[in-house]
């Protein structure tokens, strides 16, 4: 009898030791929500919806994207962090998770303490552009003018911590110039002022800008990243021009609330890798200006930590002016 009791206890202990395995085996058995902390139609939203569609097909469950914009990404991220840690609410986060620790800190969550990393999905092609109303035909001409006339050039973005803001701050730090930030509340107004020449410089992801570049409404001068883009093969990389900004500032990764079972995290990570490796997704990657990365949850964890350190360092150097002193 004692032997049977001991055997039963050992079986029970084994089941308790591996609860997440069964959870992952059946996951997902109901709809999954992906929270995105930005408005629809942006680069991260477009990519998030493509991935959601593929996951839905793969899992045989509805995968729904919910946009929660506001607070430079903090509102949506806080909502995701506060969700049940069961894998049924995922957060498709952006570079603001690495910058807001410095630029827009909040008590609602911390990107490391409040999330389990799943995968660094990729980055977005960034294009350095100027208004057609300016005389600049090269990045060097922009740099030369900015050095000779500190603070006289300005650049647009749709807010603090967004791709255009961060890319230009990093650019200014690398080349040693001062270009004034003009934040807008709406993308449409940003483009209106660039077309008119009221805003001179725009350095942001290719997604929304590509039609304007192709139509000649904006003058593109260079791209950022490790190599030239097949989308705009005539443009040199900034690194070719002696401006080494390392990798793109705009990145996108999947996270889950802290405490989500490891087996669920691993399953989502594996399935995401399969999704971004699909031939038609690789075609979209090229057409939309993304650079897929993939890899393990640890890779995203390391990337996030490095991003936090990078932007904290820039803030300490004064690259953000008074923003980081609030």
- Give the model confidence (pLDDT) of 283-312 as tens digits: 999 888 899 999 999 999 999 999 999 999
What homologous superfamily is domain 126-247 in, according to CATH?
Answer: Periplasmic binding protein-like II (3.40.190.10)
Whole-structure pTM value: 0.85
Q: Where are the domain boundaries for CATH 3.40.190.150 in the chain?
A: 31-123+249-315
Tell me: pLDDT of 17 over 50. Answer: no
Delimiting residues of CATH 3.40.190.10 domain(s) in the chain: 126-247
Which residue has better confidence, 266 or 187? 266
Chain-centroid distance of CA 169 in Å reads 16
Instruction: Give per-residue pLDDT as tens, 49-101.
Output: 999 999 999 999 999 999 999 888 999 999 999 999 999 999 999 999 999 99
* Cα dihedral sign, 115-118-124-126: positive
* Confidence band for 256, pLDDT divided at 50, 70 and 90: very high
Specify the CATH architecture of the domain 31-123+249-315: 3-Layer(aba) Sandwich (3.40)
Q: Which two tokens stand for residue 88?
A: 């049924």
Task: Please give the Cα distance from 76 to 326 (Å, whole number).
Answer: 22
Q: Is the peptide bond preceding residue 116 cis, with omega within 30 degrees of 0?
A: no
């Amino acid at each position: 009898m004692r032997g049977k009791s001991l055997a039963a206890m050992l079986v029970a202990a084994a089941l308790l030791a591996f609860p997440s395995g069964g959870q992952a085996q059946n996951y997902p058995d109901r709809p999954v929500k992906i929270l995105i902390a930005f408005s629809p139609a942006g680069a991260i939203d477009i990519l998030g919806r493509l991935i959601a569609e593929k996951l839905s097909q793969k899992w045989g469950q509805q995968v729904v994207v919910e946009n929660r914009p506001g607070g430079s990404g903090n509102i949506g991220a806080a909502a995701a962090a506060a969700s049940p840690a069961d894998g049924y609410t995922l957060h498709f986060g952006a570079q603001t998770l690495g910058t807001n620790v410095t630029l827009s800190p909040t008590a609602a969550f911390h990107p490391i303490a409040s999330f389990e990393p799943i995968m660094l999905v990729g980055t977005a092609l960034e294009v350095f552009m100027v208004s057609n109303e300016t005389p600049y035909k090269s990045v060097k001409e922009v740099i030369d003018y900015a050095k000779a006339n500190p603070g006289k050039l300005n650049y647009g973005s749709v807010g603090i911590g967004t791709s255009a803001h961060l890319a230009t701050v990093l650019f200014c730090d690398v080349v040693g110039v001062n270009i004034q930030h003009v934040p807008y509340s709406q993308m449409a107004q940003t483009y209106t002022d660039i077309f008119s020449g009221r805003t001179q410089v725009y350095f942001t992801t290719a997604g929304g800008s590509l039609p304007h570049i192709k139509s000649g409404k904006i003058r593109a001068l260079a791209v950022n990243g490790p190599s030239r883009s097949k989308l705009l093969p005539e443009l040199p990389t900034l690194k070719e021009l002696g401006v080494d900004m390392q990798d793109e500032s705009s990145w996108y990764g999947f996270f889950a609330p802290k405490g989500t079972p490891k087996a669920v995290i691993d399953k989502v990570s594996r399935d995401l890798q399969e999704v971004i490796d699909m031939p038609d997704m690789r075609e979209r990657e090229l057409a939309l200006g993304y650079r897929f990365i993939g890899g393990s949850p640890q890779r995203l964890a390391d990337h996030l930590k490095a991003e936090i350190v990078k932007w904290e360092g820039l803030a300490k150097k004064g690259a953000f002016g008074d923003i980081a002193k609030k």
